[in-house]
Amino acid sequence: MKLFRRLRTDPVWKDEFSIDRADEHYVSRRQFTKFLVLTSLGMFVGNMWILARSWFSKEPVYPEKSICRATDIPIGGVRLFRYPTQKDACILIRTEDGNFVAYTQKCTHLSCAVYYAREKNRLECPCHEGYFSIKDGSVLQGPPPRPLPRVVLERRGDELVAVGMRIHESI
Ligand code: FES
């Protein structure tokens, strides 16, 4: 026993201490598996939550709003109106073939107001020369990153009614 005490380098109190320093960073296979299972479970629950939210999120509901009488607008004529709220400026155009199309007036680049250039039959933004198609609101030229949101119209007799918006899609 005397020989043993002479050879040891650790102090005696370490014999009584419950944690072995060498084992402090040791991770057992069981602990590692537990960590992996819990992490995977957390990620799975998170993804299910995102999926459930996207399933149950509601489509926006737009009001119906009468814009004007169809006969009030000549071929190539325009009418400015606000839809779906009083803050949202829109433009209604009677095209050369007699149909009606309506778009938001807010350019998708930096929100300048677009106007109808009848001679070129397109919507133009004066700020950075962004041009949009009258057919579907798609970008013809310039920096706008997306098409103009389109106002969905219904014709009820002679009345033109806005009933919704179509955003970022060609029609
Ligand atoms: S704001 Fe319309 S093109 Fe820049």
Domain ranges of the chain: 12-56, 65-166
Average pLDDT score over residue span 159-169: 88
pLDDT of residue 13: 73
pLDDT of residue 58: 72
Residue 131 has pLDDT above 60, yes or no: yes
Closest to 135 in 3D by CA, of 92, 77, 95:
95
Average pLDDT score over residue span 75-102: 95
Residue 162, burial from CB neighbour count under 10 angstroms (0-12, 13-18, 19+)? buried
| Amino acid type, 102 | A
Ligand 1 pocket test, candidate residues 103, 114, 122, 127, most atoms within 8 A of CB: 127
Q: Of residues 16 and 150, which shows the higher confidence score?
A: 150
pLDDT of residue 4: 52
What distance in angstroms lies between residue 140's CA and the mean position of ligand 1's atoms?
12
Average pLDDT score over residue span 30-54: 92
Residues with CB under 6 A from ligand 1: 107, 109-110, 112, 125, 127-128, 130, 142-144
What distance in angstroms lies between residue 164's CA and the mean position of ligand 1's atoms?
24
Predicted model pTM: 0.68
- Residue 35 — pLDDT band, cuts 50, 70, 90? very high
Of the chain, the percentage scoring pLDDT greater than 90 comes to 70
What are the backbone dihedrals phi and psi of residue 168, each rounded to the nearest 5 degrees, phi first?
60, 40
Of the chain, the percentage scoring pLDDT greater than 70 comes to 88
CATH class of the structural domain 65-166: mainly beta
Residue 2 has pLDDT above 70, yes or no: no
pLDDT of residue 8: 62
Mean pLDDT of the chain: 88
pLDDT of residue 7: 58
What angle is formed at CA 25 by the lines to CA 24 and CA 31, rounded to 5 degrees?
Answer: 105
